[in-house]
Structure 1
Amino acid sequence: MSPDIKHGKNALKATAVWQTHQKPKQPTPLGVLAKTVSVFDTLPDSAFIRESQLVQSPKRPGIPAPLPFSAPTLWRKVKAGTFPQPVKLSQRVTAWNIGAVRAWMAAQTDGTV
């Protein structure tokens, strides 16, 4: 349902009233969050994970990711050689080996890298 189209002073007022009566967005269910986080933890080291499942995304702010940085930062780290190189699974699919990512994360917490 959209506000009535009005012109002049009342247009802004009608829009403000319409916006205040909108239903608030529902928060992401906890089950979905737990499922997203546990995917990385439950997959074997030989599995692959794509960028969208690996890093934070402004399109999905409520869904946590294993790495606390953005996609551009991920690619800067790959280019600098401070993050594992991805594997090209097909012409349009690039993914990282979960075992290599876990080893990188462990090295970061140990302070060896």
Structure 2
Amino acid sequence: GWKEKVTRRDMRPTFPTLMEVAKLAEEYDLERILPVVGRNSLVYLGVRKGEVARGKLGKPSTVFARMITHTMEMTEDDSWMQLPEVLLLAGLDELERARLNPNVGTKPNSHIFAH
């Protein structure tokens, strides 16, 4: 029968494919972090599968901020340079928001993906 995939809950239908959630879930046990700042963003706390706890800190974990944009248009002047900057700043906002979650804290490292 049908079984819900928690990593895909409350997403637009194309998001899991475009943001490569399944590929990420192959290597990491994922926990979705809510709420997010942007509507085109997903944030996960991931622990690599098979990872062994290391002392008091526990298992090493990573915060994944994944965002999608549809506005990467090239223009004749240098105004296109603002788009990547805005996207990276949005990624940093997502990471800062995720670190406020008590399940995340300040210990995990971070990865920002822009799709």
**TM-score for the superposition, normalised by structure 1:** 0.26
Structure whose CA Rg is larger: 1
**TM-score for the superposition, normalised by structure 2:** 0.26
- Higher RCO (Cα < 8 Å, 6 or more apart): 2
Structure with more strand by fraction: 2
